[in-house]
Amino acid sequence: MNVFDVREVLDIKQAAEFLGVSTDTLYKYACSGFVPAFKLGNRWRFKRSRLDAWMDGMLDFAEKAGKRNSEDVSRKE
């Protein structure tokens, strides 16, 4: 069992590792509201379950965008 199985609330380093991005990138995402996060004092925190749901939503969005793009290409042919 690793730390991601145990901890629901992750700090920025743990969340960046969980998502596979750099801490600098995740910090920018958190500040812009792109990724679900909250501040506890002056530190960013991330709920693992919300990150999972966010990634599922991003995957759904990408799949829908891919279908639209392939439909556009087939219409042009």
Indicate which CATH number applies to the domain containing 35. 1.10.10
Phi, then psi, of 7 in degrees rounded to 5: -90, 130
pLDDT in tens, 11-29: 999 999 999 999 999 999 9
- Taking 90 as the threshold, does the pLDDT of residue 74 lie above it? no
Domain encompassing residue 65: 3-76
- Does the pLDDT of residue 43 top 90, yes or no? yes
Question: Distance (Å, rounded) from C-alpha 20 to C-alpha 42?
Answer: 23
Split into its structural domains, the chain has a count of 1
- Does residue 45 surpass a pLDDT of 70? yes
Supply the DSSP string of 36-55, one letter for each residue: --EEETTEEEEEHHHHHHHH
Is the pLDDT reported for residue 69 higher than 70? no
